[in-house]
Structure 1
């Protein structure tokens, strides 16, 4: 039996989880939003498209929503560039809701309806403890047997929206793979912070959602331990692009590289966010805040007022950071600024470093030092900084995560090849897809 840290699905990474209402009231064509989403391509198309027959669709429209999913996916599913996982109705405390979800999955999976060949799985919301997850799995197993599908061929993703579901994350390694269930069909673990907040009876002074970093950490940890993929919940302020990026950056540091997207614009941002940048950049910490430096003619210029630098004599300088003032010589100044500086490597930087280490390994070396240097300019004063980073096998393996992500995107999203080549250049793309 394989360990549950092994990936059991074709996708190793999912950057974007995009939901679309399945039926809209008051429209001549209630499936108009589904039809529009089915046309998305390139960076506007998500890694996982979720026709949403739960929260995004009114209860009175959900039977029609299933008909719309079948209609649209049977027509457009063959050409859709990524995975399709409709979201069904389900609730840990409602047998009637679970039964309705079962009936809807049964209808979706009927080969005579023409949609199931293009559907990769289903998303189950509002799950409870691990026994509830097993109920959903058993229903899907029954559907597969009823329609002559291979057991386990339909993936199951769950939305973690309750304390019970969060605790169940710790049971997955023990439960998956038992002969009594098909939980190895699990694919995504998705956070649903809105309902989770309600379930936890949490209150904030402004009424805004708590950030729930613990939930996001636990979901990411549960996914890593069970060989699954973690996805963060929706970011409702769709105009706050900076906030969306901050949330994704925080998530990525937890190993959660995917996020829910509510609009094609958010899909574009989330598709690009975990990819390495096109160009490297230097950051400088000024009064507890990191500022990206502007590159001008190969030098990196600080334009803020949190750091001041004066040349006071031959190789003598006065450095002011907030209220702290220090007199330093040239070497001391370089060391002080190096402590404040950090570098964000580009895709080309990562590929260069990995290729250099691979060549060193071929030559019998277990570790090599790689230098990174830059000229910083503060208040017109130029300062050279440089450091050596030791690369060994562990460093090399860590660098593979962004490269593996890039390669997974390239393999599974041919509709994004042109976007990637336009962003990075054909040469670096060709090198990135073979390194490692």
Structure 2
């Protein structure tokens, strides 16, 4: 009987990091050295999903050796690796020979005399096309499972969306998954590949760089949500631009896409930590569509910038300037304007406190409660006391639960990160966060 598409057949509900490693490096005494290094990563340096990459990251002349390296390294280190392991094999929607090579690569790994296959969670299929092409990959995986003596559906399949065809196929998934003629329930990750997507779309920019493709990321996230899968953004290849990487992840999370490709161990650490709730709460100002973080000093929250200016114009009068807009306001009017610009970013303990308070209120028969957040903001030396009330009902509670559910998923599946999480939040907050919402 086919699985319900709302029932995940894999354990992870969130994937933060998708880390690729070349399977064979030419000109090295040990061509598997990068695989061996990645296989021994632990804690925040270890990804949720590790991808020994026998496609783009490995030269075609080294791919046969790369498969052997995957077998050797996974057999030796796979049992102790804290994340999931999903090798990427070759594939192409328009090339039967490449598809057959991908099948042979999976078959060789799965039927080797070593126990490597016992430590693999699935395979990554690149360059897929329309939904029929996805079904071909699924059928090959079914054959691989049969030849290896595995139960059908035991190997997950993740695909990389690198073409307009694959993007359109996202809309077919919900209808196709669960049909008796396929085993597409094995799908796990939907990963964007913006570089090849740009080539497939014949897109051009003035600088030769990649377009941002927000539509692709939205469509992939929507397709994953509709089919009960996990969406992952593609690589951010400016590996020194940590601020840009963090901004990209923040934009993605607003689309429901938590995971991102990581190219370096440094990006893995950033991508593992960025989606988690912050350690402490903070305030920001929203000015002309930009969010500006405030600095905490002596219990106050200080703005240090030139997008907003306040000058005293009298004992109880002020001049507020934001961009080209200048207004004369009294103290109450100024406070109202600052309240409208200010927003609070809750920390982990804030979220846990609010959820616990709402749970207690709900148990007492109350359907909604008001939560108040107060602070003193300092702009150009002017202190402004602000207070914001937020009404919490069941919908608010459910929305707030998403970052906690992410934390709980990480805590359950990554025990190697427990120490780091306790250092970030404290043992008491971690204990409460693992219990709230359950």
- Name the TM-score, length of structure 2 as normaliser: 0.98
Report the CA distance between 1:388 and its aligned residue.
Answer: 0.9
SS at match of 1:335: helix
CA distance in 2 between counterparts of 1:5 and 1:151 reads: 19
CA distance in 1 between counterparts of 2:293 and 2:117 reads: 48
CA distance in 1 between counterparts of 2:236 and 2:102 reads: 26
SS at match of 1:356: helix
Q: What is residue 337 of structure 1 aligned with on the other side?
A: 338
Q: What is residue 59 of structure 1 aligned with on the other side?
A: 60
CA distance in 1 between counterparts of 2:74 and 2:289 reads: 50
**Structure 2: gaps (5+ residues):** none
Matched, 1:117 2:118: yes
CA distance in 1 between counterparts of 2:328 and 2:223 reads: 50
Q: What is residue 133 of structure 1 aligned with on the other side?
A: 134
SS at match of 1:112: coil
CA distance in 1 between counterparts of 2:25 and 2:235 reads: 20
Deviates more, 1:216-225 or 1:296-305: 296-305
| Distance 1:8-1:321 versus aligned 2 partners, 3 A rule | same
Report the CA distance between 1:131 and its aligned residue.
Answer: 0.4
Q: What is residue 47 of structure 1 aligned with on the other side?
A: 48
Report the CA distance between 1:288 and its aligned residue.
Answer: 4.2
SS at match of 2:232: strand
SS at match of 1:109: helix
Superposed, 1:75-90 pairs within 5 Å as: 75-90=76-91
CA distance in 2 between counterparts of 1:121 and 1:3 reads: 20
Q: What is residue 256 of structure 1 aligned with on the other side?
A: 257
Report the CA distance between 1:314 and its aligned residue.
Answer: 3.6
Report the CA distance between 1:412 and its aligned residue.
Answer: 0.3
Matched, 1:11 2:24: no
**Structure 1: gaps (5+ residues):** none
Q: What is residue 214 of structure 2 aligned with on the other side?
A: 213
SS at match of 2:319: strand
Question: Could you tell me whether the CA contact under 8 Å between 2:190 and 2:231 is conserved in 1?
Answer: yes
| Superposed CA offset, 1:224-274 (max 9, x none) | 000000000000000000000111011110000000000000000000111
| Superposed CA offset, 1:143-192 (max 9, x none) | 11111101000000000001110000000011000001100000000000
CA distance in 2 between counterparts of 1:160 and 1:135 reads: 16
Deviates more, 1:302-311 or 1:145-154: 302-311
CA distance in 2 between counterparts of 1:357 and 1:24 reads: 55
Report the CA distance between 1:309 and its aligned residue.
Answer: 1.4
SS at match of 2:237: coil
Q: What is residue 180 of structure 2 aligned with on the other side?
A: 179
**Matched length:** 436
Report the CA distance between 1:7 and its aligned residue.
Answer: 2.7
| Distance 1:370-1:200 versus aligned 2 partners, 3 A rule | same
Question: Could you tell me whether the CA contact under 8 Å between 2:21 and 2:53 is conserved in 1?
Answer: yes
Report the CA distance between 1:317 and its aligned residue.
Answer: 2.1
Superposed, 1:12-411 pairs within 5 Å as: 12-110=13-111, 112-411=113-412
Report the CA distance between 1:35 and its aligned residue.
Answer: 0.5
SS at match of 2:313: strand
- Name the TM-score, length of structure 1 as normaliser: 0.98
| Superposed CA offset, 1:346-378 (max 9, x none) | 111111100000000011000001111111111
SS at match of 2:21: strand
CA distance in 1 between counterparts of 2:125 and 2:392 reads: 43
| Distance 1:118-1:287 versus aligned 2 partners, 3 A rule | same
CA distance in 2 between counterparts of 1:359 and 1:217 reads: 36
CA distance in 1 between counterparts of 2:230 and 2:350 reads: 27
Question: Could you tell me whether the CA contact under 8 Å between 1:317 and 1:329 is conserved in 2?
Answer: yes
SS at match of 1:166: helix
CA distance in 2 between counterparts of 1:398 and 1:300 reads: 26
CA distance in 1 between counterparts of 2:352 and 2:114 reads: 47
CA distance in 2 between counterparts of 1:2 and 1:89 reads: 28
Question: Could you tell me whether the CA contact under 8 Å between 1:111 and 1:117 is conserved in 2?
Answer: no
Deviates more, 1:357-366 or 1:304-313: 304-313
| Distance 1:19-1:140 versus aligned 2 partners, 3 A rule | same
Question: Could you tell me whether the CA contact under 8 Å between 1:5 and 1:224 is conserved in 2?
Answer: no
SS at match of 1:50: strand
Question: Could you tell me whether the CA contact under 8 Å between 1:300 and 1:374 is conserved in 2?
Answer: yes
SS at match of 1:313: coil
Question: Could you tell me whether the CA contact under 8 Å between 2:4 and 2:178 is conserved in 1?
Answer: no
CA distance in 2 between counterparts of 1:100 and 1:28 reads: 26
CA RMSD of superposed structures (Å)? 1.1
Question: Could you tell me whether the CA contact under 8 Å between 2:3 and 2:185 is conserved in 1?
Answer: no
| Superposed CA offset, 1:280-314 (max 9, x none) | 11111345432111101111011112222123334
SS at match of 1:239: coil
Matched, 1:413 2:407: no
SS at match of 1:417: helix
SS at match of 1:63: helix
SS at match of 1:113: coil
